[in-house]
Amino acid sequence: MDNAIFVGLSRQMLLRREMDIVANNIANLDTTGFKVESLIHKTEPAAPAATLGGPRPVKFVGDDGVARDFGQGSLNPTGAPLDMAIEGKAFFQLQGPDGPRFTRDGRFTVDPAGRLVSQGGLPVLDKSGGEITIDAEKGEVKVGSDGSLSQGSERIGQVGMFAFENLSALSKTGDNLYRNDSNLTATPAEDARLRQGMLEGSNVKPILEITRMVQVSRAYESTAKMMDSQSDLSRRAVERLGRAQ
């Protein structure tokens, strides 16, 4: 198999990975707080076949990670008092089983112990990193733009909103959650605002993703045709050399 087909195969593998990411974006079009992703490409120089006099090195294409757009999604009213949406560059902090988790998904509820928790049952943390407890008998919860929680005239806590100097510190862990995999420390986001009775929608733009899907599909087909052509050319060259001898 010659260099052109090897390069074509590396391109097809990359396009397949890119198609998976685009399909995942479209599948999460209605997921609360989901952030659109895209594939990062890189070239990987490698030595060509020793019998060829082509350029050195041959450059293959490869997967260099996934980029994530943390841009603001639309804020959609729900009317539920414990639904919360962050306006600005910040995250809710949750207490996971093996450390803090961060999310933009503000679909919160109260568990049997009275703790404010996420849809997955993880406690929502306040500005100081402590759990938040709500007494249902004290009435409806009011949420201020700074995250402060109150029932009647009594202030019961403050939902923490945390920011990172560099968002590349966050890695995806599933269930719409992120983990801090760096030495950076999450700090209170003073500029962020909390909106009660609202949820942040996905920032996926369906028209753009469908366009990307078509482009990836066409690129894959084009690469396949190039590889077929190259394979046919090599086969005919071998046949002619065989007849000449």
pLDDT digits (tens, 9 = 90+) for 43-92: 666 665 554 555 566 666 666 678 899 999 999 999 999 999 999 999 99
State how far the alpha carbon of 45 is from the alpha carbons of 7, 29, 56, 91, in Å.
Answer: 11, 37, 8, 39
Q: Token pair of 202, please? A: 């996905």
Backbone angles phi, psi at 42, to 5 degrees: -150, 160
> Angle of helix 3-27 relative to helix 206-244, nearest 10 degrees?
160
Locus of tokens 């841009």: 71
What's residue 2's pLDDT?
63
pLDDT band at 199 (very low <50, low <70, confident <90, very high): very high
Per-residue model confidence (pLDDT) at position 119: 93
What's the distance, CA 40 to chain centroid? 13
Rounded Cα distance, 60 and 3, in Å: 9
